[in-house]
Amino acid sequence: MQDGGVPRWKSARMSPFLAELLGTALLVLLGDGVVANVVLKQTKGHASGWIVITAGWAMAVTFAVYCVNAFSGAHLNPAVTLGMAATGRMDGGMVPAYLGGQFAGAFLGAVLVWLAYLPHWRATDDPASKLAVFCTGPAVRAPMANLACEAIGTAVLVVGVLAILSPRNLVPNSGFEKGFAPALVGVMVWSIGLSLGGPTGYAINPARDLGPRLAHALLPIPGKGGSDWGYAWVPVVGPVAGGVAGAWLHRLLWGAG
């Protein structure tokens, strides 16, 4: 268990792919988990409402970022990764590893939610509630407006992440970017959910929506109904467009830092 006098667990370094996989799995496990607790029947949190869902997602983001930030920068979101790559903030050759980890992790996290709430799928008779655990859907189906909402929310997310981590906000040797910044990212996600989440459920993350939607389609969930693939492109295209636009907006207005 020793490597040059240092325990192996201390000397090992998680790869970006594994970090993004585990971080996104935790994000979806806790994020979709709070939705399951609210919308599935006979749970302790049934019908506790939107504030509980947005708070749960905010804490899920915070926890996941703390867990893997040191290994991959905790993108946990293809929109963030593609925005970073488009503006030269990361090596484009790393993009496939990040995206692969994010989508695989989102699928894994959704499977774990299914297992955690196994008795409650049969207890819940509404297929729409079961689908809502896994992925987002519009309150009013208007694809172009839904697309715009997702793009706006994701642009705010990316601008906010880059602003929080801006050198202008960092005190030298303070540890801010690793100690307190992840909590601020969680607060920002909470704010986005409260302010912009009403129209579409604020996916703001293609992996968070597409991976669990695929899990919903494949898992043996009684009475689950369809996976609404006709809408599935919106929470993919909207966040990608918003993420790239947000990264460029930050670069143009705040500079390259």
Residues with Cβ within 8 Å of residue 84, at least 6 apart in sequence: 75, 90, 247
- CA dihedral (120, 122, 125, 126) in degrees, to 10, reads 60
Q: What is the DSSP string of 4-62?
A: TTEEHHHH----HHHHHHHHHHHHHHHHHHHHHHHHSTTSTTTT--HHHHHHHHHHHHH
Confidence of residue 4 (pLDDT cuts 50, 70, 90): very low
39-96 tens-digit pLDDT? 999 999 999 999 999 999 999 999 999 999 999 999 999 999 999 999 999 999 999 9
pTM, to two decimals: 0.93
Confidence of residue 1 (pLDDT cuts 50, 70, 90): very low
User: Where are the domains positioned within the chain?
Assistant: 15-254
Q: What does CATH list as the number for 15-254?
A: 1.20.1080.10
Distance CA 120, CA 130 (A): 10
Sole residue written with tokens 């990212």: 185
133-159 tens-digit pLDDT? 999 999 999 999 999 999 999 999 999
* Pair of tokens at residue 110: 């959704």
**Nearest to 192, CA basis, from 255, 230, 234, 242:** 242
